[in-house]
Amino acid sequence: MTSEHAGPRALRKLVEAVLSISADLDLPAVLQRIVDAATDLVDARYGALGVLDETGTGLVQFVTTGLDEETRRAIGDLPRGHGILGLLIVDPRPIRLPDLREHPNSYGFPPNHPPMRSFLGAPIVVRQEVFGNIYLTDKQSAEVFSDIDEELIVALAGAAAVAIENARLHARLAELALLEDRERIAKDLHDTVIQRLFATGLSLQGTARLSQPAEMAARIQDAVEDLDLTVKHIRTVIFDLESTAARGTGLRDRVVALAREARGPLGFMPEVTFDGPLDTLVGDDVGQDLLATLREALSNVARHARATTIAIHVSAGPELVLRVEDDGCGLPEQPSKGLGLRNMARRAEALGGRFGAGPGAERGTVVEWVVPLVGP
């Protein structure tokens, strides 16, 4: 595609979309970024990315944007690749339809499905094999999708293939880091947990020499709070050690894995603590949204904050709370209009929760993402 086909604004949007989908190395996050970027790029109301199964004849995964959580639940089972969606599976070439309802392959919509009309689809080809397809419907600023829209999506699909392959390679490399992770955890136990307990013990010993009751109470309270934090560190480090050996797929394990992943771009390892039965209370869909929000927050810190420490805390109770605090330069006076903060806020709102980003107590930035949970 050249500037003879698309104007400067469209090309700028394409560049922004390519940069957006290249910002993650976790495959589920990459897939969601691709859908979000494609929808924004051509001004579609709804977007989806269908991942093909091993046989290449049906869909095993369907990532969407534009549908709120209530509508997704009302629709029920996700599509498997029949009807219009199956056209790209059978013949993996870009396709545009002015009204998908009038196509002879149309199956119609299931109950509770929003009406859709204009359609644009394109395959994502990774290493000469079709990985999946991008589906976009309802052009918002025009009646139908244009030739330029098709060129933009085809170009984005090429970049998406590279991002998907990078995410796959990164996952394989992570499996080779087992020995290094064990050494790091042992160092964390010695340098962080044991030293903190030792320092707290000395502080409590010093209270016997204080003569003022109020001063003594304050010192003891500080020590108790420090011990509470230490217990959280111990639990987190022990879980980290166990999950490294077992290579589990629970939400705690994935949060810790994200923190390790961020160590490269940040130049240091974020501190991670947990409260509550995270893997018991949090379902897969909500867990995916939490992980996507954490990736976005860590990416923002790495790119903009110039931080030297990050504290990640995740707690599960009546609400699922993700708190990310850094000691960087803080938010700019005029925050960026990029997709990052908007995506985090949108995920919280879709789940009936809330999102905030503001200055820390002394410096830096605090990001807090809170959604309600329904117990088992």
Residue 320 lies in a domain: yes
328, 364 in Cβ contact below 8 A?
Answer: yes
295, 238 in Cβ contact below 8 A?
Answer: no
Q: Where is pLDDT greater, at 207 or 15?
A: 15
305 and 279, same domain (yes or no): yes
Between the alpha carbon of residue 138 and those of residues 100, 115, 117, 120, 271, the distances in Å are 10, 9, 6, 9, 44
Degrees to nearest 5, angle at CA 112 with 106 and 114? 60
What is the three-class DSSP state of 359? strand
Q: In what order do the strands lie in the sheet with 319-326?
A: 271-275, 310-316, 319-326, 365-372, 354-359
Mutual angle of helices 213-246 and 195-206, in 10-degree steps: 170
How many independent structural domains does the chain possess? 3
Q: Where is pLDDT greater, at 201 or 91?
A: 91
Degrees to nearest 5, angle at CA 82 with 80 and 87? 120
Res 3: pLDDT: 39
Q: Out of 145-149, 195-199, 344-348, which region has the weakest mean confidence (pLDDT)?
A: 195-199
Q: Which of 195, 216, 247 is the last residue of a domain?
A: 247
Res 267: pLDDT: 84
What is the three-class DSSP state of 174? helix
Res 335: pLDDT: 56
Res 121: pLDDT: 92
Residue 1 lies in a domain: no
Write b or e for each residue in 138-149: b if 16 or more Cβ atoms lie within 10 A of its Cβ, otherwise e.
Answer: bbeeeeebeeeb
193 and 169, same domain (yes or no): no
The two tokens of residue 289 are 């949204």
Question: Taking 80 as the threshold, does the pLDDT of residue 138 lie above it?
Answer: yes
Average pLDDT over residues 307-321: 92
Q: Which of 185, 328, 188, 177 is closest to 264 using CA atoms? A: 177
pLDDT band at 376 (very low <50, low <70, confident <90, very high): very low
Res 103: pLDDT: 81
pLDDT band at 67 (very low <50, low <70, confident <90, very high): confident
Res 247: pLDDT: 47
Res 311: pLDDT: 92
Work out the mean pLDDT of the chain and round it to a whole number: 79
18 and 153, same domain (yes or no): yes
Res 176: pLDDT: 53
Residue 260 lies in a domain: no
Could you write out the DSSP letters of every residue in 176-237?
TTHHHHHHHHHHHIIIIIIHHHHHHHHHHHHGGG---HHHHHHHHHHHHHHHHHHHHHHHHH
Res 95: pLDDT: 92
Res 203: pLDDT: 60
Q: Where is pLDDT greater, at 111 or 196?
A: 111
Percentage of residues of the chain with pLDDT beyond 90 = 24
Kind and range of the H or E run holding 276 = none
Percentage of residues of the chain with pLDDT beyond 70 = 72
Average pLDDT over residues 296-315: 89
89 and 225, same domain (yes or no): no
327 and 202, same domain (yes or no): no
Question: Taking 50 as the threshold, does the pLDDT of residue 14 lie above it?
Answer: yes
Q: Which of 53, 105, 50, 55 is closest to 79 using CA atoms? A: 50
Contacts of 335 (CB under 8 A, 6+ apart): 341
d(CA 210, CA 330): 39
pLDDT in tens, 77-108: 767 667 778 888 888 899 999 998 888 777 66
Q: Give, as one character, the DSSP assignment of residue 102.
A: G
Contacts of 150 (CB under 8 A, 6+ apart): 94, 96, 120, 122
156 and 15, same domain (yes or no): yes
Q: Give, as one character, the DSSP assignment of residue 302.
A: I
Residue 3 lies in a domain: no
Question: Taking 80 as the threshold, does the pLDDT of residue 6 lie above it?
Answer: no
Range of the domain at 336: 265-376
Q: Where is pLDDT greater, at 1 or 325?
A: 325
Which residues are 272's β-sheet partners?
312
The two tokens of residue 350 are 């879709």
Question: Taking 60 as the threshold, does the pLDDT of residue 330 lie above it?
Answer: yes
146 and 89, same domain (yes or no): yes
Average pLDDT over residues 224-240: 60
pLDDT in tens, 104-121: 777 667 777 888 999 999
| CATH classification at residue 271 | 3.30.565.10
293, 258 in Cβ contact below 8 A?
Answer: no
130 and 183, same domain (yes or no): no
Res 2: pLDDT: 40
pTM for the predicted model, two decimal places: 0.50
pLDDT band at 360 (very low <50, low <70, confident <90, very high): confident
pLDDT band at 205 (very low <50, low <70, confident <90, very high): low
119 and 219, same domain (yes or no): no
127 and 48, same domain (yes or no): yes
Question: Taking 60 as the threshold, does the pLDDT of residue 248 lie above it?
Answer: no
Strands (E), 66-167: 95-97, 119-126, 129-139
